[in-house]
Structure formats: structure tokens, C-alpha cells
Structure 1
């Protein structure tokens, strides 16, 4: 059986952000003439997830830890690699981590379609240089919840689960 590696996104030390494709040009990253840049606003998010207004939409900030992050569409979850000896070890722990997670408070995120995950320091107009991950999401409202889980003695990961809400 051939296993396909997932694509991980990393940051230079700040939070990662998932910005809807429709408002990418409005994300200024660490650039800008404002006293507080978009990147500064992302760094102010307290906790594992938060929402920031961008254009006529909102971006999802993955806060707390600048861990390498992948999206697993089969689980509707961003997985954040905190500690594991290998990718295989980390990914094999995801099902049990999802089943045993003690989820934090859920936020409601309205998504107009695909989002791009990248280092929040980059401007949205330069995301190709930031090697973003495009995540195809069905337009609608999502419940977003997060947890930090240790599915094994040497494995720690963060979970940010997106659940499409009815109606």
C-alpha cells in the first residue's frame, strides 16, 4: 500500500492563518501603514483559534503555537504537529486524538469557499511565495473547535476541526 504524504505549512514563528480566497488581496500581513498590521492583529489572538475580519469576510487564525500544520479533509481537521518521531506516527494518532479530545469553545466561521493557509506575516497578494495550502471548503457556516491531544507518550498534536453547520 502506498501512503501519500500530507502537505505541511510552517511559519517563521508567528501564527498561521486561513484566509478565504475571495479576500486574499485584503490581507496585508506584516506590511501596511497601520499602527497595528494584520500580522500584529493575528498575534493578539488569545487561544488556539480566533477570527479576524478581512474585507467582507473573516480569516481563521491558528494561534497558541507556530506548529507545522496540515489539513486532513477526511476528518475536516487541521492537524498541528507539536511532537512525534515521524509523520506516520503523528497521523496514526489522529483518529484516537479526535475521539478523546477535550474540545475548547467553538467559534462560528462563515466561509465563502476555498481558503488558503499560510504564515500570517505574508501579504495575501504574495501567498504564492509563502507556499500556501489551498483547502477546498463548501461555502457555508462552520463550527470551529480546537484541542491539544497526546495520543501516545511521545506524540503531541493540535486539532482544529471544522464542522459544516446545517442551515
Structure 2
């Protein structure tokens, strides 16, 4: 797989071309990815998500789908934000634009995502049970309901990034 995000400060997750997905660890066995006997696989359902983010039922929970483009993605715990690397000459350049991007973002509509705890971010084509053996990122979310919003921002002349921010509700 081609690497667009050089190793740096953060761990970046990339896909083989389809959407990335964040699945609660408790329901990983219920995500079949592209490996399914069904006509419409879980991966197909993830590909049908319209826009930057969407939710798909998985077991008794839901997965967060990162739609639009298969950008390398990481998580910044201090701002509870997934950062999607669309264009930048380096990780340093990309991360330097995050504060400005958060301050100036025009956020899209929000979805409410109820999670039972930590989630794994990985390529939606992989089955959940194989996610730990593939490129993935564990995000230690607290159980609860999160408001999730997204934006696409150009913080510099050659820097474009996507933001998917989580805000925990009612705590």
C-alpha cells in the first residue's frame, strides 16, 4: 500500500481506497468488512455513506464511517478530533494548521454517536476480528454519547485537512 503520510509524531491509518471506520471494540466481531456472504457487505454499506461522516449499525452499537475520501487519519486526544490528511508537504505543516482549522471551520451537520467505550479506527474493508492485525488506531473513548461534527479546511496555501470532532454530551 502506498504511504502518503510519512512516519512522524502521530500514528496514521490509511485505507486501500475505501472509507475508514471507527468501530467500538465490543462489537468488532459483528463487522464483516468486505468478507461476507451477503449481497450487500458491511464494506458496501460503508461506501454508501454520503458526505464526510455517517453512522452504521453494528451489533447493538454503531460505527462511525469516515466518508468522502480515503485520507490518512489520526486522532488528537487533546481536542477530541480526528484529523484527515488531504494535502500537506509534511506532518509538521499539517499539524501546524490544526489550531487555525479548528478556529475557522465551518462545521457540517452533527450526528449523535453512542459508544460503549474504546473504538478501533481501521480500513472498512477489513473484518473487525482482523482489525488488530491490520493497520489500526485504538481511540480510548469513555462510554457515552458524543456529538460528532465534520469540516474540511484549508489552513494554508498547500494544506488541506478534514476534521471530525467529538464532543461528549451530558457528562
Cα drift, residue 130 of structure 1: 1.4
Does the aligned pair in 1 maintain the 2:24–2:115 contact within 8 Å? Answer: yes
For residue 113 of structure 2, what is the aligned residue in structure 1?
109
Alpha-carbon distance between aligned partners in 1 of 2:28 and 2:107, rounded to the nearest angstrom: 29
For residue 6 of structure 1, what is the aligned residue in structure 2?
10
Q: TM-score, normalised by structure 2?
A: 0.94
The match for 1:72 among 72, 76, 80 is 76
3-state SS of the aligned residue for 2:133? helix
Is the counterpart of residue 54 in structure 1 residue 58 in structure 2?
yes
The match for 1:45 among 40, 49, 68 is 49
Alpha-carbon distance between aligned partners in 2 of 1:122 and 1:130, rounded to the nearest angstrom: 8
Does the aligned pair in 1 maintain the 2:14–2:135 contact within 8 Å? Answer: no
Deviating 4+ runs (over 3 angstroms): none
Alpha-carbon distance between aligned partners in 1 of 2:60 and 2:132, rounded to the nearest angstrom: 22
3-state SS of the aligned residue for 2:107? coil
Deviations 1:104-153 (A, max 9, x none): 00000001000000000000011122121000001100000000000001
Q: TM-score, normalised by structure 1?
A: 0.97
Cα RMSD for the two superposed structures: 0.8
For residue 95 of structure 2, what is the aligned residue in structure 1?
91
Any stretches of 5+ residues in structure 1 without a counterpart? none
3-state SS of the aligned residue for 1:151? strand
Aligned pair count reads 164
Alpha-carbon distance between aligned partners in 1 of 2:133 and 2:123, rounded to the nearest angstrom: 11
3-state SS of the aligned residue for 1:166? coil
